[in-house]
Amino acid sequence: MILKSFSKINLSLKVNSKLENGLHEIQSYFCLIDLNDKIRISKIKGIQDKVSFKGSFAKLVKKKDNSVINLLNLLRRLNLISDYYSITIFKNIPVFGGLGGGTSNAATILKFLVKEELNNKLIKKAEKIVGTDLRLFFLKLGFLKNLSSVEEIKMKQKFHFVLVKPKIRCSTTEIYSKVRIYSKKEKFKKKKSITRDNFLSLLSKTQNDLQFIVEKKYPPIKKLLRDIKIKKGCFFARMTGSGSVCYGVFKDKIEAKKALNKLKTKYSNHWLTLAKTM
């Protein structure tokens, strides 16, 4: 069986407070994009799972302590699975980029293995060992109200993205540790559906609270975002999560492709690609 494990983009990110457990309460508009890892999974005979990673980003993944192995161990402790599996993950999603590739891998395998048993209680247990953004990967587009609550947003039109990852590894723990100013919580007004133009207008009034911190530590990211933003057809440019992947949002695929080609010329040593909303 081959599964597709899709990445996510934080279209906005507000840091609201620091919790007693050391985590930060955040809010975020987010979407899944078609950039994905491929997961090959099959049952095997034996008493141990075989998990391996391939692809250009595989060498950056921990081989013994990663989200997939931790998830399998949890499901076995909960008696939700009894078989053992051979799992090969072909990493197309950059690691340490803010695209949630590792969490997506775990979410995709979780959905595949438990199916009917999947519920909010199980997701909460899985989040404790996989990551608090696990629940984002069960919706194509949404708003994270807080670490335990997500609202779905329905929109038919697509966005197109130019994604650029500089050769910079951002430590999520370090970036969050530098937050000194907290944003006021946003009240989410749920609608049955929203148009792309209205949603883009809403997003233009938001920001990523972590972006300034990353730009200060890594000035090339500020320059990169500026270069993306000035490309024709780019609605806005932003960083996803705690970085270091930066992106530009385009309504038109042709304009996005033209921007990508120009950026490839200037940033030939960076990872660049096109993507779109699911």
pLDDT tens digits, one per residue of 9-28:
999 999 999 999 999 999 99
The answer to whether residue 274 scores a pLDDT higher than 90 is: yes
Beta carbons of 89 and 107 less than 8 angstroms apart: no
Q: Find the Cα–Cα–Cα–Cα dihedral 78, 84, 89, 94, rounded to 10°.
A: 30
The answer to whether residue 67 scores a pLDDT higher than 90 is: yes
The answer to whether residue 103 scores a pLDDT higher than 90 is: yes
- What average pLDDT does range 89-115 have in this prediction? 96
50-54 and 84-90 beta bridge pairing: parallel
274 sits in which H/E element: strand 271-276
The answer to whether residue 193 scores a pLDDT higher than 90 is: no
Class of domain 160-276: alpha beta
Q: pTM of the entire structure?
A: 0.95
User: Which amino acid is located at 176 in the chain?
Assistant: Y
Class of domain 2-152: alpha beta
Question: What residues does each domain of the chain span?
Answer: 2-152, 160-276
The answer to whether residue 93 scores a pLDDT higher than 90 is: yes
What are the C-alpha distances in Å from 1 to residues 40, 58, 89, 102, 183?
Answer: 6, 20, 12, 19, 44
Beta carbons of 35 and 273 less than 8 angstroms apart: yes
pLDDT of residue 47: 87
- What average pLDDT does range 106-133 have in this prediction? 94
Instruction: Tell me the C-alpha distance between 74 and 126, whole Å.
Output: 7
Closest of 278, 16, 27 to residue 155, by C-alpha:
278
Longest Cα–Cα distance in the chain: 56
Beta carbons of 135 and 100 less than 8 angstroms apart: no
Average pLDDT, the chain: 96
> Sign of torsion, CA 40 53 273 109?
positive
Task: Tell me which of 65 and 238 has the higher pLDDT.
Answer: 238
Beta carbons of 9 and 181 less than 8 angstroms apart: no
Closest of 59, 68, 73, 74 to residue 41, by C-alpha:
68
